[in-house]
Amino acid sequence: MTDRRTFIQQTALGSIGIAVLGRASRCTPSMQWMAKLVDGPLPRSTPEGQGIPSSAIRNFLAAVEKSGQEFHGFMVVRHWHVVAEGWWSPFAPALKHTLYSLSKSFTSTAIGMCVADGKMSVEDPITKFFPNDLPDPVPPRLAAMKVKHLLTMNNGHDGRPMEAMQAEPNGKWAKAYLAEPIPYEPGTHFFYNTGSTYMLSAIVQKLTGKTTFDFLTERLFKPLGIEGADWEISPEGVSVGGYGLRTRLEDIAKFGQLYLQKGTWGTKQLLPASWVAEATKRQGPSQENDSDWGQGYGYQFWRCKPEPGFYRGDGAFGQYCIVIPQYDTVIAINSESKDMGASMKLVWDHILPALKNDTPLPEDIASQKALADDLKKLALPAPMVQSVSPQAAKISGKKFKLEQNAKGIESVQFFFENSTCKLTLTGPKGPQTLTCGLGKWHTDGNEQDVSVSLFVLPERVKLTSKTAASFTWQDDQTLLINLKFIENMHGDQWICRFEGDKLSISFKNSLVMMGKEEEKRAGLSGRLS
């Protein structure tokens, strides 16, 4: 077949998010044609080719800009075709992104495959899978807890067992979960908790002899052409299940497309249609409100508010895989949203109305060009206050010896040259450097291995991540170092204050700046050596 990826890159529109490939059919592709595409990228189309005016996507982007919500990437797939996609620089198509609780829907899929293989049933009591971790005696409510109660978050808890699991001194997360009090009869009380999804992941590993990640790599990721994903593991060596999966945005879209197609991919049935139906229907109540989180819960999928039949997997700070069967559409979003409800409303207000038409529209070249321009400009602004300070010449290349600190950082140096600031930390194993752009994001060479990093990374950054970094002077005495962990989602700010020969550094992660958390990290202090 034609090298479609090269063609897209060579078109004026394709390089930044949409491809003009001529009038693409709105019909579901033939099985023969689908079979040729399943292990590569999804096919592209203009929005009009699938019945969506380009102006609707432009209105959505304008609304995102005005909302103050921080989007990192979006993709709209209709009739199997990607009709619009964009990334807010420094985020980019090739980068994986933390999914948080959207990971849960993938774990549920692994359970569905185990059920299809005849290895288990959702009616199985969970005690049968963990005979060596059970309390003695086994409480009646624990004995009554079934796999379906874990899937539907109706397991009887009213607290967050994950906190007790993570605090278990020997890393025995399953044992800690099973020891938690169960104040409600299983099946009678919805309480959203990540510990239950961890237990589902542990069950997959018990049944298959593989982590959920390795199991899904063979059964889901390879067939869908998903590469480069990873998943956090527990001290027990189990895929965490309820969070910690990282994939690219297009991988999320493919996952949603698999569910939209009732478990089929190309010529293969990867997941039974009956499981898709059960997993995505309203199995029971969810939160007691009228929001998108109050419409009921399936097997690790949420129901959506606008119309019956809409459903989604979602994760903290706005990681969405929205499936809209009535309009043959999947919408994938990555973000660090401070208000997930507001982010969802942007989709319902600006994209959903455009889906009501189901026939191709006349190609609108002017609107498509304007959309292409909008997509090309998508970017998260790097903070910029003032570009110069007399301090830069005074401190460039000089070493500040730090007081004793928990990270064992011995010294810090700042090197200013050609609109960059290289921040070098030195510890027992030698120096580590991060390069920052002046009022713009710099990424080359900025990869942080969390296990060995001297940089005082925020609590939620757990896995190695490429890092975008910028700097600006807040005033003549204060240097701001700004970081975006672009394979995670969160950010950080270092406030470096110079007074004579003294240096003090304090920190604010992006959630602190949102008002969501309090900063827990101690600052650093030192003086010129």
CA distance 425 to 364: 53
160 pLDDT band (50/70/90 cuts)? confident
Q: How is residue 485 written in tokens?
A: 């962990």
CATH number of the domain that residue 524 is part of: 2.40.128.20
Confidence check: pLDDT of 451 > 90? no
How many domains does the chain fold into?
3
> What is the mean predicted confidence (pLDDT) over 482-510?
97
Q: Alpha-carbon distance 506 to 479, whole Å?
A: 11
Same domain, residue pair 68 and 112? no
- Let me know whether 74 and 186 are in one domain: no
Residue 381 located in a structural domain: no
User: Does 349 reside within a domain?
Assistant: yes
With 70 as the cut, is the pLDDT of residue 36 above it?
no
For position 38, what pLDDT does the model report? 62
Full domain range(s) for residue 414: 390-528
**pLDDT (0 to 100) of residue 40:** 84
Do 354 and 263 have their domain in common? yes
pTM confidence score: 0.93
Instruction: Judge if 307 and 399 occupy the same domain.
Output: no
Asked if residue 9 belongs to a domain, the reply is yes
Cα(345)–Cα(329) distance, integer angstroms = 17
Higher pLDDT, residue 369 or 31: 369
pLDDT tier for residue 440 given thresholds of 50, 70 and 90: very high
> In the chain, pLDDT over 90 holds for what percent of residues?
89
For residues 116 and 89, state if they share a domain.
no
Position 515 pLDDT exceeds 60: yes
Q: Per-residue pLDDT averaged across 455-462, rounded?
A: 91
**Are 87 and 111 members of one domain?**
no
> Which range is least confidently modeled, 179-183, 201-205, 393-397, 457-461?
457-461
Q: Are residues 306 and 326 in the same domain?
A: yes
Label residue 18 by pLDDT band (50, 70, 90). very low
Does residue 23 register a pLDDT over 90? no
**Is the predicted pLDDT of residue 447 greater than 80, yes or no?**
yes
Nearest to 330 by CA among 47, 154, 76, 5: 76
How far is it, in rounded angstroms, from Cα 391 to Cα 388?
8
The 10s digit of each residue's pLDDT in 350-384 is: 999 999 999 999 999 999 999 999 999 999 999 99
CB 294 within 8 A of CB 79: no
The answer on 78 and 17 residing in a single domain is: yes
Boundary-marking domain end, from 376, 401, 435 = 376
487 is a domain residue: yes
Pinpoint the alpha helices (H) of 103-160: 103-116, 140-143, 147-151
pLDDT averaged over the chain?
A: 93
pLDDT band at 490 (very low <50, low <70, confident <90, very high): very high
pLDDT class for 37, splitting at 50, 70, 90? low
Residue 82, classed as helix, strand or coil, is strand
Element (DSSP H or E) covering residue 73:
strand 71-78
Which of 149, 178, 208 is the last residue before a domain boundary? 208
Query: Quick check: is 214 in a domain?
Result: no
Q: In what order do the strands lie in the sheet with 71-78?
A: 81-87, 71-78, 329-335, 319-324, 311-315, 302-303
117 plus 170 within the same structural domain: yes
- Quick one: average pLDDT of 423-430? 95
* Helical H segments across 12-90, by residue range: 31-37, 54-67
Do residues 361 and 282 touch, judged by C-beta distance below 8 A? no
Q: Quote the pLDDT of residue 347.
A: 98
Q: What average pLDDT does the segment 477-492 reach?
A: 97
The answer as to whether 237 is a domain residue is no
pLDDT at 24: 41
Whether 256 and 305 share a structural domain:
yes
Share of the chain above pLDDT 70, in %: 93
For the chain, what is the radius of gyration of the CA atoms?
Answer: 25
> How many CB atoms neighbour CB 161 within 10 A?
24
Q: Give the model's pLDDT for residue 408.
A: 95
Taking the CB of residue 106, how many other CB atoms lie within 10 A of it? Answer: 27
pLDDT of 317:
97
Grouping H, G, I as helix, E, B as strand and the rest as coil, residue 334 is strand
pLDDT digits (tens, 9 = 90+) for 58-114: 999 999 999 999 999 999 999 999 999 999 999 999 999 999 999 999 999 999 999
pLDDT of 4 > 60? The answer is no
218 within some domain: no
Q: What confidence score (pLDDT) does residue 491 get?
A: 96
Q: Count CB neighbours of 359 within 10 A.
A: 7
Please tell me whether residues 131 and 41 are part of one structural domain: no
| 302-353 pLDDT per residue, tens | 999 999 999 999 999 999 999 999 999 999 999 999 999 999 999 999 999 9
278 and 357 fall within a common domain = yes
Question: Is the residue at 79 inside a domain?
Answer: yes
* CATH assignment at residue 36: 3.40.710.10
437-460 average pLDDT score: 92
Could you report the per-residue pLDDT of 254-304, keeping only the tens digit for each? 999 999 999 999 999 999 999 999 999 999 999 989 999 999 999 999 999
